[in-house]
A and B are shown apart, each in its own frame.
Chain A
Amino acid sequence: GAGVSQSPRYKVAKRGQDVALRCDPISGHVSLFWYQQALGQGPEFLTYFQNEAQLDKSGLPSDRFFAERPEGSVSTLKIQRTQQEDSAVYLCASSLDIRPTDTQYFGPGTRLTVL
């Protein structure tokens, strides 16, 4: 079956531009996560949705970062006024239910480069 998909796969932005990154989770998955992976590092948690509700946004680095999942399926991560330190791979993951033992299935990521 189809896995988690993300678009675009690569994005180059000039400093100060706004970007929007899209995540299509596995159909029917309740939970959706965004992670940020800097070069040579492990993924770091950004935010978590349960259906359309954003239950945890403690990992968002600044108020320039905003995420939504209005209909409980597709999610968008928006970064306003991009800075060079925002350059990273942004990973989306979904899981079937809300148990902490549920497997998180990851998409291929969007590599963002801010010039």
Chain B
Amino acid sequence: AQSVTQLGSHVSVSEGALVLLRCNYSSSVPPYLFWYVQYPNQGLQLLLKYTSAATLVKGINGFEAEFKKSETSFHLTKPSAHMSDAAEYFCAVNSGGSNYKLTFGKGTLLTVNP
């Protein structure tokens, strides 16, 4: 079985501050991990994914995430927040094999204050 825990349903940062969104996973096999962003009334857009290549993954809009097997974590970071980063962020896991579905966390709402 696979699961995802996102610590903090709501994170608030000031514009220009570091963004850190936490994700921990549980998987019985080496996982594939994804971060998606969802803007209001829109579908989910992929930010980045870990597919067992480099453990530090760079994505769009200046975001990156580091896969840490020992901590079962895949936290999302961005050095300097922009107002346009305000959205809901979802971490997801896929354990591969014949299991193609994504299992999502409950999401973290990021607000950026001017």
Contact = CB atoms under 8 A, between A and B. Distances in A.
Interface of A: 4, 31, 33, 35, 40-45, 48, 55-56, 59, 91, 93, 98, 100-101, 103-109
Interface string B39-54: 0011111100101000
B99 A108 contact: no
A100 B43 contact: no
- Scoring A31, A42, A93 by chain B CB atoms within 10 A of each residue's CB, the highest score goes to A42
Interface residues of B, number: 26
A106 B37 CA distance: 11
Contacts of A109: 43
Interface of B: 4, 32, 36, 41-46, 49, 51, 90, 92, 94-97, 99-107
Nearest to A42: B104
30 contacts: A41-B106, A41-B107, A42-B4, A42-B92, A42-B104, A43-B44, A43-B90, A43-B102, A48-B100, A48-B101, A55-B100, A59-B101, A93-B43, A93-B44, A100-B32, A100-B94, A100-B95, A100-B96, A100-B97, A100-B99, A101-B51, A101-B94, A103-B49, A104-B46, A105-B46, A106-B43, A106-B44, A108-B41, A108-B42, A109-B43
